[in-house]
Amino acid sequence: MEHNHNKVIDEGRQGEALELDNANISGKKLYVESYGCQMNFSDSEVVASIMTNNGYSTTRNIDEADVVLINTCSIRENAEQRVRNRLTEFKHRKDQKPDLVVGILGCMAERLKKSLLEEEKLVDLVAGPDAYRDLPNLVDEVGTGQKAVNVLLSRDETYADISPVRLDHGGISAFVTIMRGCDNMCSFCVVPFTRGRERSRDPHTIVEECKDLLSKGYREVTLLGQNVDSYRWNLTSKGVVKDENQPTTNFAQLMEMVALVSPDLRIRFSTSHPKDMTDDVLEIMAKYENICPYIHLPVQSGHSTVLERMNRGYSREWYLERIDAIRRFMPDCAISTDIITGFCGETDDEHDATVSLMQQVKFDFAYMFKYSERPKTLAERRFADDVPEEVKAKRLTEIIELQLKNSKLSNEKQVGETVKVLVEGASKRSEDQLCGRNGQNAMVIFPRENYEKGQYVLVKITSCTSATLLGEAISIC
């Protein structure tokens, strides 16, 4: 996804193991670990479902595992290095357990299949994002002494018929993938090469999945796609109807369908692309109270010339007009973004333009990174990665410091306000406090009292930090 990216990406997030209810399941044990963007974590839920349906049970204890699968991120170099380090640990584990099968999934799989399989010998199998249905066969191939590979990309695969398993029992929030792949060719990004072309999922399967989640106690869904604004069911990228006998659905219409599932089901989405965000999406967001007033709108740079080198498809002026439109429809909407510093050829003036855009927009939150050249991207072929590392670091420090001020300013505006919070559970710092997010995606912490996970609670905000709102609960709502 975006984040060099969708996205919303949390590169600092640790690998997360899946665990299912293993009752009535026999056979070998599977351990799955995920890194990177929300899409990877969602994909791991699909993988666990496929393997479980083929006789595997899942475990959080790697010592029990017969098969270890790691779902990877290829967005930045340090993300790949973390995965390599983890694979090296698994390789040592195979010395004690020779029959252990280690596989790599996701974006690194396609890009580094030869290196990981043949040269470094870190894995036994490689499966790309469109090959997860083939995983049981690939594991069987490894059992015959072969190295197993399937990184073929698909124009049709959406896994729409697979019911994903969820990362946690009794969860509150869930990811729902609405489309796969990306048709944008941002020059810094590997996603089009690792995840293939865009294809949208049948909207009715999305609605049914959301209904199922609601029935299981979930109270929030995040609709996921590399670029959700280009969601088109039964439409080509040029807006031509594919099947005259079937209805068409765009992202605004899909979001309304999901909003109508229940007023108790809160809806988020990630990620939007500035060039594709239209007013009809904003109109639907403003219409429904259960669609959160929060938009992640990656800008990447505040200078039109840099945006052109990035092949982003919009200018600084276009982006600012979209910001104005968001605030016209939803004055209380929170806006976050992604920013890359030190992209190829970035001058001081071009960097200053990013700083001035941040000062003008005052984002509520931002994911900020130094440019990291990725192999096989358009930028690698066309441009020199010529901004010195120390300059990249200095510029990154500057925008991080500015964003901390903007985030604090955003939170300070909410002090004294009463906000609706979906309780996610106990605060990390104290079991006596609960935490949850308001519609604008700000984390709120308040005393536990008698409130419980999964409830919507009205909280009066009494103070804040740059990252958190603190308050006192008033009542359930």
* Token pair for 216: 């299981």
Taking the C-alpha atoms of residue 387 and residue 397, their distance in angstroms, rounded to an integer, is: 15
Distance CA 43, CA 48 (A): 9
CA 42 from chain center: how many Å?
Answer: 8
| Among the listed residues 373, 384, 39, 393, the one whose alpha carbon sits nearest the alpha carbon of residue 188 | 373
The predicted pLDDT at position 60 comes to 86
Give the Cα separation of 441 and 222 in Å (integer).
Answer: 12
- Separation CA 472–CA 341 (nearest Å): 39
**How far is it, in rounded angstroms, from Cα 402 to Cα 361?**
12
**Residue the block writes with tokens 């999934």:** 105
Say which DSSP state 88 is in: H
Cα distance between residue 183 and residue 204, in whole Å: 23
- Mapped onto helix, strand or coil, the DSSP state of residue 118 is helix
AA identity, residue 353 = A
The pLDDT assigned to 134 comes to 95
First to last CA, the chain: 34
Query: Where does 390-455 show beta strands of DSSP type E?
Result: 418-426, 433-437, 443-447
DSSP collapsed to 3 states, 296-339:
ECCCECCCHHHHHHCCCCCCHHHHHHHHHHHHHHCCCCEEEEEE
**Dist CA 334 CA 469 (whole Å):** 14
CA distance 231 to 296: 16
Token output for 400: 């991080």
pLDDT recorded at residue 4? 37
Q: What is the pLDDT tens value at each position of the chain, 477 positions in all?
A: 454 333 333 333 334 444 444 444 447 899 999 887 788 888 999 999 999 999 998 888 899 999 999 998 766 667 778 888 898 898 889 888 989 999 999 888 777 777 788 777 889 999 999 999 999 999 999 988 888 999 888 888 999 889 887 756 568 999 999 999 999 999 999 888 888 889 999 999 999 999 999 999 999 999 999 999 999 998 776 677 788 878 889 999 999 999 999 999 999 999 999 999 999 999 999 999 999 999 999 999 999 999 999 999 999 999 999 999 999 999 999 999 999 999 999 999 999 999 999 999 999 999 999 999 988 899 999 999 999 999 999 999 999 999 999 999 999 999 999 999 999 999 988 999 999 999 999 999 999 999 999 999 999 999 999 999 999 999 998
Query: Using an 8 Å Cβ cutoff, are 440 and 446 in contact?
Result: no
Q: Residue 274 burial (CB < 10 Å; 0-12/13-18/19+)?
A: buried
Report the SS3 class of residue 180: strand
User: What is the sign of the dihedral through the CA atoms of 319, 325, 422 and 251?
Assistant: negative
The one-letter amino acid at 287: K
Write down all domains in the chain, each with its CATH number in brackets.
16-150 (3.40.50.12160), 173-412 (3.80.30.20), 418-476 (2.40.50.140)
Q: What is the pLDDT of residue 199?
A: 93
In the block, which residue shows the tokens 């019911």? 163
User: For position 259, what pLDDT does the model report?
Assistant: 98
Whose CA is closest to 399, among 357, 460, 438, 451? 357
**Angstrom distance (rounded) from CA 288 to CA 328:** 16
Backbone angles phi, psi at 222, to 5 degrees: -115, 115
Structure tokens at 279: 């007013």
Distance CA 27, CA 279 (A): 52
Write the DSSP symbol of residue 201: P
Residue 60's identity, in one-letter code, is R
- Tell me the residue ranges of DSSP E strands in 248-312: 249-250, 266-270, 294-296
Q: What is the pTM of this model?
A: 0.86
Q: What is the β-pairing status of strands 67-72 and 101-106?
A: parallel
